[in-house]
Chains A and B, each alone.
Chain A
Amino acid sequence: MKTNSKAAFPYILWVLFFTVIPFVLVIYYAATSKDTGAITLDNLANASRYFPVLIRSVYLAVIATAICLVIAYPLAFTMSRSSKSVQRVILLLVMLPMWMNFLLRTYAWITILDNNGLINSFLTELGLPKIQLINNSGAVVLGMVYNYLPFMITPLYSIMTKIDKSVIEASQDLGCNGWQVITKTVLPLSFPGILTGITVTFVPAVSTFVISGLLGGSNCFLIGDLIQQQFLGNEYNLNYGAATSLMLMVVVFISMGIFNSFDNDEMEDSMI
């Protein structure tokens, strides 16, 4: 046990300097006034005025996470049941877009979705009317799904490869049809993977500002944009920005709490 904690020392030091101290600073800035430096709740009260922005961010992130799950789950299952070489190829294809810069990947979507982009010029060629594909919340959700899908696939895939083939065969022997195999065997066994996938997809999606900035147009101002403006825009206000990000952190904490309670249930279940 002792050697274990010693081995973790570099990480503990890392966490102390780059997580704990910055977090304390965020709280400090959120709770002090910009002009006088005195302790105040004004920043937090101000930040809560923009609660609708937070709701909109959560809403888009929830939809994106749900779509990611629906796309990723069948893929991960198929992957885990195919031969090793096929698995390697699919995994490579899943990870391939991640090799490219995040900003570039999102920027490329503008070229595709734009009013004069690939799709619309193709439609015009065919004599069809143009469709509005960019500058709406749909485009933002698309951007989120595209960017965060690998985050959903990888944990699902790694947990499903651990499901023994014999378990599935056993359930088939005991009279489960195809649908029941999924719901009674695969789904419960892959539940921890679903929770991890949801967490690692939802958290970056809810705080994004690049995607909404590039694809969202006028009506998709998200909490990430709000925070970004306070730190990098000409609204430059560290205290208010810190308060806003604290508000976001609280929401993320609460959702993590909910997910973790599921995880605990799962543990208890498997103990019984």
Chain B
Amino acid sequence: MKKILSFAFVAILSVLSVNAVNVENEAYYEQFRGKDITLNVFNWGEYISDGSEDSLNVLEEFENISGIRVVYNNYETNEDLYAKLSANKENPQYDIIIPSDYMISRMIREDMVEKINFDNVPNISMIDDKYRYPDFDPTGEYSVPYTWGTVGIIYNSKYVDAEDVGTWDLLWNKKYAGNILMFSNSRDAYGVALKKLGYSLNSTNRDEIEDATEILKLQRSVNQSYVMDQTFDKMENESAYVAPYYAGDCLSMMENNENLAFYYPEEGFNIFIDSICIPKGAKNKEAAEAFINFLCETEIAVANCEYICYFTPHTEAAKIVEFDERIYPTDEQLAKSESFIALPDNVNSLYDSSWIEVRSSLDISEMVTVGIILGLALTVLIVLTVLRHMKKGKINY
């Protein structure tokens, strides 16, 4: 009986997957058919539902519905994307890109992205207004949010007392000295410190950055180590008790160790948004807009969201996909979040050099030991040299 049922289930599934996806207005996509258009999409790796493990193949569906051929390429970092685009500004190779927040603001500043004609993207109404006008594109003219995520604190409830939880102060709490982790990446670490101080995490104010540097130095005295991916291991096997990290990844840690819990600090936190943009001078702007519209179709947004496992800015999709409420921020919490924007070059280098200062400063007692040991080593070397020369002298005479 079970077998028959599962056969029936598979049969239904296969019938479903043959059917085309439900779209709001099929005729809109039909206008491109027979025009022999090729759309070049440049995206992060594993960042679109691709048909693997019974998911929906978004690119194939788009080709079927519109007759537009899609060429899909991957990049690994925002900087990689930026380098490829700026090397060929006159003749961009791509029609669709999906950079992160701060990179979008840099591209807007350097006039590298097109304004999107929203008459061609009717599904924009599906995107929640909360994410429509982010700090990096306040007018929302250049970008359409694709996914978003947040940074919060993951902690081990077996070791951390409930009364210490709630703010960023937990990362500075001497009670847990030696069991606290911190981001090894300067922008994320400064984001934490600036938020704790109540400043903007895009601060360009020299004094504010200096304050943040001071408290990060203070944090170093209770910190175990500066890590990124190692956070998973250290939190799961309980060799550290507290760490700031990305909410989605925290959930997967919590699935592996039931003592782990998560919260959003009251002072506010970082929200990161990856948005869809069209590079300046793209050859197929209208087809690109149709593609953006397609990505905003509810069924497609749901498929992508389930595949990527990040939060979605799509109102309908967010209702359908079930997010774990332990990590899904409330509206009240979201109001306190802030996204990164690109900073002027001189401010960037101020952050970088201050971060090295945080990481590298020696305290007095360490200086003394280092001095004594190196002094000893040097003395031994000198004594040896002198002895050898004396000996040589003796033999010569």
Q: Which residues of A contact B (CB under 8 A)?
A: 35, 46, 50, 52-53, 55-56, 58-59, 62-63, 66, 114-117, 132, 135, 216-219, 221, 225-226, 229, 233-237, 258, 261-262, 265, 268-269, 272
Confirm or deny: B225 has a beta carbon within 8 angstroms of a beta carbon on chain A.
yes
With a cutoff of 8 Å between Cβ atoms, the chain A residues found around residue B359 in the complex are 221, 225
User: Would you give the 0/1 interface string for B67-93, flagging 1 where the beta carbon is closer than 8 Å to chain A?
Assistant: 000000000000100000000000000
With a cutoff of 8 Å between Cβ atoms, the chain B residues found around residue A59 in the complex are 370, 373-374
Confirm or deny: B162 has a beta carbon within 8 angstroms of a beta carbon on chain A.
no
Give bound CA distance, A217 to B14, whole Å.
53
Asked whether A265 lies within 8 Å of B388 as measured between CB atoms, the reply is yes
Asked whether B79 lies within 8 Å of A236 as measured between CB atoms, the reply is yes
**Given known A-B contacts A52-B361, A59-B374, A268 and B392 have beta carbons under 8 A apart:** yes
List, sorted by A's number, 29 A–B pairs whose CB atoms are closer than 8 Å: A52-B362, A55-B362, A55-B370, A56-B370, A59-B370, A59-B373, A62-B373, A62-B374, A62-B377, A114-B237, A115-B179, A115-B239, A116-B238, A135-B178, A216-B225, A217-B223, A218-B224, A218-B226, A219-B220, A221-B359, A221-B360, A233-B186, A235-B186, A235-B352, A235-B356, A258-B381, A262-B385, A262-B388, A265-B385
Give bound CA distance, A234 to B395, whole Å.
60
Interface residues of B in 370-395 (CB under 8 A from A): 370, 373-374, 377, 381, 384-385, 388-389, 392, 395
Shortest CB-to-CB span from A123 to chain B, Å, is 14
With a cutoff of 8 Å between Cβ atoms, the chain A residues found around residue B361 in the complex are 52
Give bound CA distance, A46 to B392, whole Å.
44
With a cutoff of 8 Å between Cβ atoms, the chain B residues found around residue A265 in the complex are 385, 388-389, 392
Confirm or deny: B117 has a beta carbon within 8 angstroms of a beta carbon on chain A.
no
Asked whether A46 lies within 8 Å of B381 as measured between CB atoms, the reply is no
Confirm or deny: B185 has a beta carbon within 8 angstroms of a beta carbon on chain A.
yes
Confirm or deny: B355 has a beta carbon within 8 angstroms of a beta carbon on chain A.
yes
CB nearest to B372 among chain A residues: A59
Give bound CA distance, A114 to B230, whole Å.
13
Confirm or deny: B353 has a beta carbon within 8 angstroms of a beta carbon on chain A.
yes
Interface of B is mostly: helix
User: Would you give the 0/1 interface string for B147-159, flagging 1 where the beta carbon is closer than 8 Å to chain A?
Assistant: 0000000000000
Interface of A is mostly: helix
Asked whether B220 lies within 8 Å of A235 as measured between CB atoms, the reply is no
Give bound CA distance, A234 to B361, whole Å.
20
Closest 7 CB pairs of A and B: A218-B223, A217-B225, A235-B352, A221-B359, A53-B360, A115-B239, A59-B370
Give bound CA distance, A216 to B388, whole Å.
38
With a cutoff of 8 Å between Cβ atoms, the chain B residues found around residue A56 in the complex are 362, 366, 370
Shortest CB-to-CB span from B225 to chain A, Å, is 4
Asked whether A135 lies within 8 Å of B373 as measured between CB atoms, the reply is no
Asked whether A116 lies within 8 Å of B362 as measured between CB atoms, the reply is no
Q: A114-B237, A217-B223, A234-B186 are in contact. List 8 more A-B contacts (CB 8 A).
A: A50-B360, A52-B361, A55-B370, A56-B366, A132-B178, A216-B225, A258-B381, A269-B392
